[in-house]
Amino acid sequence: MNTLPSAKANSPAEASDSILVSFEARWEELFISGQVSGFIRKRLPRTTSPKWIYAYFGTPLARISVKAQIKSISEVPIGQVIASASDLCISKEEIREYCAGLSSIGLCLIATPFVSNHKLGLERMRSTLSFFPPQSFLILSKDAKRIIESIGQFR
């Protein structure tokens, strides 16, 4: 039986310096064009300091097509996120709805993204890795990062 490497790091020894974050399909073009300088999440890594983000865009795209260097990850007051809504390409109302009942939220700021020469569709990912798109994020295994880099050829 052939066992595929796990996309998710299942131990600290397996962990790469990268995370995979899921986004709705509508975000892909905003990332590719460089309009997005960061994003918010209720959950972001707390025990590691990743250097890279790989973006998985959900259906109907269902693919990884962008990577970006992480400038910072921090917990910030909701008001700070609302003030920088245009930099995040999200409306103040969407922020208020997403953050309802919270006083702070995780903010990840990113550098200009790299776009893959070969989009990594869900079928291709599952043929090379044990891969299940995360609801929020996952810490990529070293094997997964190597495979994604090799296939994606980010530029």
pLDDT digits (tens, 9 = 90+) for 55-106: 999 999 999 999 999 999 999 999 999 998 988 999 999 999 999 999 999 9
* Spatial CB neighbours of 53, under 8 Å, sequence gap ≥ 6: 18, 19, 20, 21, 67, 68, 70, 108, 110
Backbone angles phi, psi at 137, to 5 degrees: -150, 165
Domains of the chain: 16-75+109-152 (3.10.590.10)
pLDDT tens digits along 116-125: 998 899 999 9
pLDDT tens-digit series, residues 142-152: 999 999 999 99
Q: CA 148, CA 16: separation in Å to the nearest integer?
A: 12
Confidence of residue 2 (pLDDT cuts 50, 70, 90): low
Distance CA 73, CA 113 (A): 16
Encoding tokens for residue 9? Answer: 């790091």
pTM: 0.91
